[in-house]
């Protein structure tokens, strides 16, 4: 398909139409600082939300929130380590609950006359 008609030039209509703000180092650093602060606030809220979910007994939601907080806080080493430790503790807790549940189910099968407990191989 070919263009049959066109008008105009390649000159901008307004010399200031594209750039309304100058870019210098201070502007860049200021924008970066604002963005990092917003990201840190979001990570802090997610960490609190993760702890709330864990306290309420919703480990899947807690894990998602803590993972998000961990990913959003890569620029803040101390906060990132706190989020990582809390996420690892939640994972260990979930593992212990799963193993305890499996063990209890295996022993309840034995108590009901199901024979030997199942073995993991």
Secondary structure class of 32 (helix, strand, coil): helix
pLDDT digits (tens, 9 = 90+) for 60-115: 999 999 999 999 999 999 999 999 999 999 999 999 988 998 888 877 776 676 65
- CA-CA-CA-CA torsion for 43, 47, 53, 59, nearest 10 degrees? 100
Angle between helices 25-56 and 77-111 (to 10 degrees): 20
For the question of whether the overall pTM of this predicted structure is more than 0.75, the answer is no
**Cα distance from N-terminal residue to C-terminal residue, the chain:** 66
With a cut of 70, say whether residue 121 has pLDDT above it: no
- The 10s digit of each residue's pLDDT in 22-53 is 678 888 899 899 999 999 999 999 999 999 99
């Amino acid at each position: 398909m070919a263009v049959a008609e066109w008008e105009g030039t390649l000159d901008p209509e307004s010399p200031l139409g594209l750039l309304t703000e100058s870019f210098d180092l201070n502007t860049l650093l200021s924008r970066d600082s604002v963005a990092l602060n917003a990201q840190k606030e979001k990570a802090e809220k997610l960490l609190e939300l993760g702890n709330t979910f864990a306290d309420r007994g919703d480990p899947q939601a807690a894990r998602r929130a803590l993972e998000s907080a961990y990913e959003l806080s890569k620029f803040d080493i101390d906060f990132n380590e706190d989020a990582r430790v809390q996420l690892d503790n939640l994972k260990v807790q979930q593992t212990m609950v799963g193993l305890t549940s499996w063990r209890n189910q295996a022993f309840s099968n034995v108590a009901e006359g199901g024979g030997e407990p199942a073995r993991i191989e």
